[in-house]
Amino acid sequence: MARRRPELLCGAVALGCALLVALKFTCSRAKDVIIPAKPPVSFFSSRSPVLDLFQGQLDYAEYVRRDSEVVLLFFYAPWCGQSIAARSEIEQAASQLSDQVLFVAINCWWNQGKCRKQKHFFYFPVIYLYHRSFGPIEYKGPMSAVYIEKFVRRVMKPLLYIPSQSELLDFLSNYEPGVLGYFEFSGSPQPPGYLTFFTSALHSLKKDYLGTVRFGVITNKHLAKLVSLVQSGSVYLHRHFNTSLVFPREALNYTAENIHKWAFENREALLRWLRPHGGKSLLLNNELKKGPALLVFVPFNPLAESHPLIDEITEVALEYNNCHGDQVVERLLQHLRRVDSPVFRPLAPEPPAQLPEPPPITASPCCNTVVLPHWHSVSRTHNVCELCVNQTTGGVRPSSVGMPQCSFFEMAAALDSFYLKEQTFYHVASGSIECSNFLSSYSPFSYYTACCRTINRAVTGFIDAGHSVFETPAIALSSLEKKCEADPPGSVPHIEENRYLFPDVDVSSTDFTGLSCRTNKTLNIYLLDSNVFWLYAERLGAPSASRVKEFAAIVDVKEESHYILDPEQALRKFTLESFIQNFSVLYSPLKRHLIGRDSAQFPSQRLITEVTTDTFWEVVLQKQDVLLLYYAPWCGFCPSLNHVFIQLARLLPTDTFTVARIDVSQNDLPWEFMVDRLPTVLFFPCNRKDRSVKYPEDLPITLPNLLRFILHHSDPAPAPQNSANPPTKECLQSEAVFQQGHISHLEREIRKLRAEISTLQRAQVQVEAQLSSARRDEHRLLRQKQTLEKQHSLLQRHSEQLQALYEQKTLELQEVARKLQELADASENLLTENTWLKILVATMERKLEGRDGAAALSPPREAASDHPEPPGAPRLPGSSLPPSNSSSTLASERSNENRTD
């Protein structure tokens, strides 16, 4: 075709060229379409006190930083939401400190700026602080103006001046560990070591942005002696419960890095602030794994001069951990309570004072009424016991009783011991009073007395009868009886409730002092700012619409439970102490708090019941069978089961069966009903709620399978007792089918178990083969080790031989070197002699030439031996006149020399 129609070939070539041109034009247009990024604009307003370097001029920022004492650098990205949110906070802090601190904002995102080219940040915003040449100190706290201003002020003034005793007590009684330095400024304006101590305080802020270690300076030598500081330049670390330390200058170099490292390694944490940064972190996980934790949410203003609520919490922590009754801690507690002490004594450990011998106790002991649970056979009778705590009159007691009311822990120990012995008092109906004494299991100085009698529950005048029998101090119990009737059976009033019942009786603080050492459930106390982290409090159970943002909760990860302080009670010292005491006893009266959403009010005709935390027990423990589905909104497979459960609910009678579901993402459940996967189905049989059954995981969730599962595990209908109506054939067949299904189920379980056994046997064979292979490898490696040891010994001997040979060759080389040195010396002597000989030969040649010229001018004469030497002839010192035949001899030697040359 090309040969016949050449115009087709030309057309194809032209079309291809047109396509290439169009493609090239399209590509060039695509490159031209790319629009360069717009130049950056100012991030802060022109009236802002913040210097905005929106083009990323990092070099200019470094230039202006040299002229300022304290500088804050705010690195931001214009598109970052957190940078935009922090902009107003930075401006607010700058407005307060602009006359003392230079605030510089740098755009570190524009690709043409030096900041983007030199800095590589993983997040924005980033805040750096510089104190003269020290820095950068990165701030990682909350992006709030008050927190930023507080941190900047601490960088500006990292040392706190302590001029008086009261301020020294304020410094030492603080919950944060304190480091004090003593310097005498009378001798010089800057004493030795002061600048190092100042830099160590900046190092601590760089290490921990929370500033958990406070640094102070003492200039008064009398004030310094109170904390065991005598020499100027010494540093003191205060600890509440361990021995306070002085920086060991003889063991460590006195440098800023060593001082702050020593303080951080030896500090004592009384309370700790938790400030999650909002991203992924293990902060809470790492702290809660250490043990039960008391989380206290308080509204905190970092710029406030005093914090009364935190002082009360500090007092609680000091008393809770004061296990040995330390006098220094007691003095600090008195200062926190603002109790004036007449004399300020040194804060050094003193010998314990001799306790006076306690007088014998003659007052009435502490008693409490205990009602034992009634027997089922005699449901209207109770065993009522009067339990009294008695102290021994002889021996030495650790402390004296200040009031007739016994402590909380003494009564708790008495109740524990009593319930261990209560089988002695279980009598069906006894009109007599039985008493028994038993020793305390906690203290050898106490014993308990229990007197019991059986009374009828319906008997009136129980209080009067009880008083006449036991002869104990009487109190009106009408309000207490009403309160006990309102509470569920078996509940114990809390300590804080007892305080409201007995307002005139003040529980001594000694019951709480040192509690952390008397319980196995020691608490770690943490503080959180409710103004910033109230969301965490709401997740723990705090009301979202609370007027005062104060909340306390105890979280025990090991027990998978947490308890909250009643939000209606004010967060004060005595409520925290009661809360901690209730948690610390062996049988804690605190109830586990379960988080759940509000109960939904669904119409009565709804087929599936929605269960929440509040309605769980009501639905599950009702007198009918319950099938419960566990689901979550993020579970993709869960919605596909809705139609199955709706059909099941339509088939089953609603008066005897309940189909329900619960959202586990919004509701907490008791640990015995928790599940590890979704969806999960549990069946709770009627009157046998403790025998809940889990739907098999390997069985598909279908309507027939669910019906078989329910029929298999539900209670069969009771057979009629009338023998005149024998069971019908259909009933017998259904019973046989039921039994056959049960047998088939058991056979399937047996087959599963056999398969698992065979799998385990195969795994055992594989493990044994691996063990034998490992043993063979061990023997092989042992042989290789022995071979290597032999080779090593041979190499060692060979090395010794080479060493000896090396030493021998070294000696020989030294001898050769000595001989070469001798040859060199001899060669130098020969060269010197050769030079003298050459000079002598040249002299003799000139002399002979002079004689030959004289002989040619004068007639020959007979030479005489006494002919005088011609003048001007050179003569070597010590040389004699050569003989007459010397000329011939020299001529012959010269001819010989010429020949040799």
Q: State pLDDT tens for residues 581-611.
A: 888 888 888 888 777 665 554 444 477 888 8
Query: Which amino acid makes up residue 352?
Result: P
pLDDT of residue 517: 85
**Under 8 Å CB-to-CB from 704, ≥6 apart: which residues?**
none
pLDDT of residue 413: 66
Q: Quick one: angle between helices 165-172 and 327-336, nearest 10? A: 110
pLDDT of residue 731: 67
In the beta sheet, which residues pair with residue 372?
A: 383
Residues 659, 479: Cα–Cα separation, whole Å: 42
pLDDT of residue 688: 63
Q: What is the 3-state secondary structure (H, E, C) of 666-690?
A: CCCCCHHHCCCCCCEEEEECCCCHH
Task: With CA atoms as reference, report the closest residue to 201 among 231, 161, 242.
Answer: 161
Question: Sign of torsion, CA 336 340 341 344?
Answer: positive
Phi (first) and psi of residue 343, to 5 degrees: -130, 135
What tokens does 365 get?
């002991």
Given the structure tokens 């769980």, which residue do they identify?
A: 616
* 86 C-beta neighbours (distance < 10 Å), count: 21
Phi (first) and psi of residue 882, to 5 degrees: -70, 155
The CA–CA distances, whole Å, from 93 to 49, 86, 107, 147 equal: 10, 11, 19, 9
Q: Strand, helix or coil at 762?
A: helix
Residues in the chain: 901
Residues 168, 227: Cα–Cα separation, whole Å: 10
Residues 888, 141: Cα–Cα separation, whole Å: 115
Q: CB of 242 within 8 A of CB of 268?
A: yes
pLDDT of residue 813: 94
pLDDT of residue 229: 85
User: C-alpha dihedral over 49, 52, 58, 63, to 10 degrees?
Assistant: -40
Q: What parts of the chain have a pLDDT lower than 50?
A: 30, 339-344, 348-364, 374-381, 391-405, 423, 426-430, 441-445, 456-509, 601-605, 717-724, 862-887, 890-891, 898-901
Burial (CB count <10 Å: 0-12, 13-18, 19+), residue 158: buried
Task: With CA atoms as reference, report the closest residue to 344 among 336, 332, 354.
Answer: 332
pLDDT of residue 723: 44
The CA–CA distances, whole Å, from 895 to 382, 838, 845, 847, 885 equal: 155, 15, 12, 17, 16
* 685 C-beta neighbours (distance < 10 Å), count: 17
Determine the straight-line distance between the first and last CA of the chain, rounded to whole angstroms: 103
